[in-house]
């Protein structure tokens, strides 16, 4: 139903989808005094995948799982024992934290801010018009921010299985004894490690020879080592053939068929864009020939020049902060047409919240080679880092791509890597010389000293015999 009885049907902008992308655009446009309409299917959908089924619940789950893991490690210093995980309590904790955030991500909250909100299914009825609940609305510009959904696994027998996705896993109340995960992307790996730490016997199936395929293979292998040490069973280059019962999967590995038994199975094989059922053709919005993505230009504009995309539906990186990037580009281009910005991911970054974390930013080696750019690779392991030694977190590595005195990109696997790497991201974005980081005085023994240490190692290699002789003469 409509949020207000007096909603008129003409707006400055309509945002379809109230996830990160839609909310960022709608909130800014409202703050500057424009008339904004926000549409989503239900009040509980507001906040998008991140709040409801993605970032927030998964990170809350990981937080509890890490506490359980650390508690078990502490047992060697204690006479106490750790009990069995009560998953119902874990899931209640997750819901409680979601509800705290939901206080400022709901229809009533945004209505009080001055944004009109309509709840229901939106469909286009023209180039600048949409219909919701049999009422038509129009706007000068329309933002599609409809997000994505879990991709379905299409194999024989899938109909026999009450499988999980990231959309319903947080409804579990009993910890699975044998937990099978199909798909080795970020969702599968994060949730797999979390359930393993809570007490499940976890098996992860990946059809390629590496999980986290967007990550540097050396860094992914570091994480692989840790997961195996924790008892996670990783099956690479494995095909899923069929479910032959409610709790058995037939796979093919190394040319042989095997049977995998499970209590619960999570399907985590990627995402599909929510672009169907919108009557896009009525607005002149075209889809690519494969039917999976919208035709979008570098300015996030569809084939209808007044309809734009934001967030997952843009068809590239599927992160909350990617939606924030898109929103920033759209807002800039709406109000600064003489200096329009194109979508560019050269300064993009992301974190996979495993333990240890993986943080990646900027340009990777594949892109640098493709662009034929000059670069140098520098490495440092954490095994000799004092803070890592005392915190038992020496399983870590940092890898940077540099040119002269500038950083081009890099990746790190370490405890709290997502936090440690932030100053390196700033150096990349701000074009800050590496010598500035090297000159910084870090309190001992903060973990971020690792950033200075890798540069110290790098600069020390420049001390050639000739340079050393010069120093001796000067002294």
378-433 residue pLDDT tens: 999 999 999 999 999 999 999 999 999 999 999 999 999 999 999 999 999 999 99
Claim to verify: residue 365 and residue 223 sit in the same structural domain: no
14 and 37 Cβ atoms separated by less than 8 Å: yes
Claim to verify: residue 22 and residue 128 sit in the same structural domain: yes
Claim to verify: residue 144 and residue 282 sit in the same structural domain: yes
327 and 310 Cβ atoms separated by less than 8 Å: yes
Number of domains present in the structure of the chain: 3
Q: How far apart, in Å, are the Cα atoms of 298 and each of 172, 316, 344, 399, 439?
A: 41, 12, 8, 30, 39
164 and 170 Cβ atoms separated by less than 8 Å: no
Domain stop point among 339, 359, 383:
339
DSSP state of 371: T
Domain of residue 412 covers: 349-462
Q: Output the pLDDT for position 131.
A: 97
Specify if 406 maps to a domain: yes
Beta bridge partners of 378: 400
Q: Which residue has the tokens 């999570």?
A: 266
pTM above 0.75, yes or no: yes
Claim to verify: residue 365 and residue 317 sit in the same structural domain: no
Claim to verify: residue 15 and residue 139 sit in the same structural domain: yes
CATH code, domain carrying 422: 3.30.390.30
Claim to verify: residue 22 and residue 127 sit in the same structural domain: yes
pLDDT at 134 over 60: yes
Claim to verify: residue 143 and residue 280 sit in the same structural domain: yes
Claim to verify: residue 375 and residue 285 sit in the same structural domain: no
Return the percentage of the chain with pLDDT > 70, whole number: 99
Specify if 134 maps to a domain: yes
Decide: helix, strand or coil at residue 192: helix
What DSSP letter does each residue of 177-246 carry, written as one string? SEEEEE--SHHHHHHHHHHHHHT-EEEEE-SSS-SSTTS-HHHHHHHHHHHHHTT-EEE-SEEEEEEEET
Among 234, 226, 227, CA closest to 392? 226
What DSSP letter does each residue of 89-102 carry, written as one string? HHHHHHHHHHHHHH
Q: Output the pLDDT for position 7.
A: 55
Specify if 125 maps to a domain: yes
Show Cβ contacts of residue 414 under 8 Å, excluding neighbours closer than 6 positions.
356, 357, 382, 388, 393, 396, 397, 398, 420, 447, 450
DSSP state of 301: B
Domain stop point among 245, 271, 297:
271
Helix (H) or strand (E) segment spanning residue 65: helix 55-74
When the pLDDT of each residue in the chain is averaged and rounded to a whole number, the result is 94
39 and 338 Cβ atoms separated by less than 8 Å: no
Claim to verify: residue 318 and residue 206 sit in the same structural domain: no
Residue 3 pLDDT level (bands cut at 50, 70, 90): very low
Question: How many of the other CB atoms lie within 10 Å of CB of 12?
Answer: 16
Claim to verify: residue 28 and residue 140 sit in the same structural domain: yes
Specify if 72 maps to a domain: no
Residue 260 tokens read as 């995998």
Decide: helix, strand or coil at residue 68: helix
Show Cβ contacts of residue 51 under 8 Å, excluding neighbours closer than 6 positions.
98, 101, 102, 105
pLDDT at 464 over 90: no
Claim to verify: residue 261 and residue 289 sit in the same structural domain: no
Specify if 81 maps to a domain: no
pLDDT at 13 over 90: yes
Specify if 79 maps to a domain: no
């Amino acid at each position: 139903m409509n949020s207000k009885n007096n909603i008129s049907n003409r707006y400055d902008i309509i945002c379809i989808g109230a996830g990160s992308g839609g909310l960022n655009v709608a909130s800014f446009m409202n703050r500057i005094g424009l008339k904004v309409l926000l549409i989503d299917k239900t009040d509980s959908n507001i906040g998008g995948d991140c709040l409801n089924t993605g970032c927030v619940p998964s990170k809350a789950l990981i937080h509890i799982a890490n506490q359980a893991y650390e508690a078990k490690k502490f047992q060697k210093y204690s006479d106490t024992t750790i009990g069995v995980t009560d998953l119902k309590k874990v899931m209640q904790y997750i819901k409680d934290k979601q509800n705290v955030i939901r206080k400022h991500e709901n229809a009533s909250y945004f209505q009080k801010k001055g944004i009109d909100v309509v709840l229901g299914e939106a469909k286009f009825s023209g180039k600048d018009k949409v219909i919701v609940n049999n009422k038509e609305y129009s706007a000068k510009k329309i933002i599609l921010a409809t997000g994505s959904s879990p991709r379905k696994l299409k194999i024989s027998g899938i109909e026999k299985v009450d499988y999980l996705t990231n959309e319903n896993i947080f409804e579990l109340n009993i910890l699975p004894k044998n937990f099978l995960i199909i798909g080795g992307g970020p969702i599968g790996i994060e949730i797999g490690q979390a359930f393993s730490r809570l007490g499940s016997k976890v098996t992860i199936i990946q059809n390629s020879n590496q999980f986290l395929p967007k990550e540097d293979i050396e860094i992914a292998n570091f994480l692989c080592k840790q997961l195996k040490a924790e008892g996670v069973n990783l099956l690479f280059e494995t095909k899923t053939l069929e479910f032959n019962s409610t709790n058995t999967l037939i796979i093919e590995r190394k040319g042989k068929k095997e049977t995998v038994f499970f209590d619960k199975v999570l399907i985590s094989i990627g995402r599909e864009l929510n672009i169907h059922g919108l009557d896009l053709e009525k607005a002149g919005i075209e889809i690519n020939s494969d039917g999976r993505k919208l035709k979008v230009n570098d300015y996030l504009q569809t084939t209808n020049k007044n309809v734009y995309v934001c967030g997952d539906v843009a068809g590239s990186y599927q992160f909350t902060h990617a939606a924030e990037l898109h929103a920033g580009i759209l807002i800039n281009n709406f109000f600064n047409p003489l200096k329009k910005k194109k979508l560019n991911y050269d300064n993009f970054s992301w974190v996979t919240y495993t333990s240890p974390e993986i943080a990646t930013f900027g340009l990777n080696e594949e892109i640098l080679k493709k662009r034929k750019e000059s670069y140098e690779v520098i490495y440092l392991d954490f095994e000799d880092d004092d803070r890592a030694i005392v915190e038992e977190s020496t399983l870590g590595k940092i890898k940077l791509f540099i040119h002269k005195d500038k950083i081009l990109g890099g990746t790190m696997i370490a405890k709290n890597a997502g936090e440690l790497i932030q100053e390196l991201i700033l150096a990349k974005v701000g074009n800050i010389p590496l010598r500035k980081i090297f000159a910084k005085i870090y309190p001992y023994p903060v973990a971020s000293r690792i950033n200075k240490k890798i540069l110290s190692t790098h600069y020390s290699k420049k001390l050639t015999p000739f340079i050393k002789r010069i120093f001796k003469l000067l002294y």
